[in-house]
Amino acid sequence: MSKYLITYQLKTINKYIGHRKGEVKIGEKFKFINDPTALKEELTASKTKHVILGIPEDYGVQANYGRPGAKSAWTATLKSLLNVQQNKFNKGGKILLLGHLDFSKEVENVDFNSPELPKKLQNVINIIDKEITYLINLIVSSGKTPIIIGGGHNNAYGILKGCALAHGKPVNVINIDAHTDFRTTETRHSGNGFSYAFEEGFLNKYFIFGLHENYTSKEIFNMLNDEDERIQYNTFESLVVRKETEIIHEAERALSFVEDDFFGLEIDCDSIINIPSSAMTPSGLSVNDIRYLTHKFSRSKNIQYVHICEAAPNPKLENEMILVGKLISYLITDFIRK
């Protein structure tokens, strides 16, 4: 049983569903866990294919000096996703809505104005890592495909570790991101989830899609080039600005690099133009580009999960919450739709 997992029932989320005569929303058809103390057994017995988990936290982002707010993405997504129409394209009965993780009690005594905030957040980040590893291991071991929403990119580490433990070997990943998140493995934060997973043997091949040249250091580029058998990348500038290659071609290259084995898909909302995120950008991939890539990569028989992170809408601004909610809902339905 998970100490931090808040599971849902239909009555939990019914308040977010806009009921209309003559319409059925996918939220009305979602499946749920009945007994959290028998989580492993219920996951294994469930006939659903996809399991959705929310991680409303931004502690890893703040430990990396990023913009807070990633903890709001889960609520924004939930309100939008539940109201997607149930039809021949969207089948809510194939989805298990697990719930979300709540780590709020672990930071009650943390001074978020402290100049030593990254160090003060290490304990809670370590707890988050362990919890995510445990849950992802359970979900993947049960034969299900997790869809993880919200929080910082620090959570990629626990997701990759959980998948690797479930399969008994390291997994590959495609990360659509403006940054490598491959910083040094000293203090855990949102900028080094992949480097930790790589060093500890949970991540094998790593493809970064849409890397921004302005925000990648010479040292990082040198490291990527030194590890070219296991790490490949393209840059946003080569794709969109200089047009040296095309997204369709690069999608094929990324897929051929990782799909010889199990792999995950990471979507960092920092890569998308004008989306409220921890490192919001006025120059990035379009929403339609990301939707195409999500659809493309999700067709592979070896896809293990999708993790959509770093969106940071201001909960006081309804337009930002709606924008992020609809964006992530589109990506979720693109991922699960066959």
- Taking only the tens place, the pLDDT of each residue in 101-131 is 999 999 999 999 999 999 999 999 999 999 9
The model's confidence at residue 295, banded by pLDDT at 50, 70 and 90, is very high
Q: How far apart are CA 97 and CA 176, in angstroms?
A: 25
Q: Please state whether the predicted TM-score (pTM) of the whole model is above 0.95.
A: yes
Q: How far apart are CA 305 and CA 299, in angstroms?
A: 12
Q: How far apart are CA 248 and CA 172, in angstroms?
A: 20
Read off φ and ψ for residue 237, nearest 5 degrees. Answer: -65, -40
pLDDT value, residue 1: 65
**Secondary structure (3-state) at 236:** helix
Instruction: Quote the strand ranges of 56-196, DSSP E.
Output: 95-101, 145-149, 171-176
The reply to whether CATH 3.40.800.10 applies to domain 5-336 is yes
Under a CB-based contact definition with an 8 Å cutoff, are residues 271 and 283 in contact?
A: no
The model's confidence at residue 251, banded by pLDDT at 50, 70 and 90, is very high
Q: How far apart are CA 83 and CA 17, in angstroms?
A: 6
The percent of residues in the chain predicted with pLDDT above 70, rounded, is 100
Per the DSSP assignment, residues forming a β-bridge with 273 are 281
Give the residue-averaged pLDDT of 64-69. 89
Under a CB-based contact definition with an 8 Å cutoff, are residues 190 and 63 in contact?
A: yes
Using the predicted structure, report yes or no on whether residue 204 has a pLDDT greater than 70: yes
Give the residue-averaged pLDDT of 196-225. 97
Average pLDDT, the chain: 96
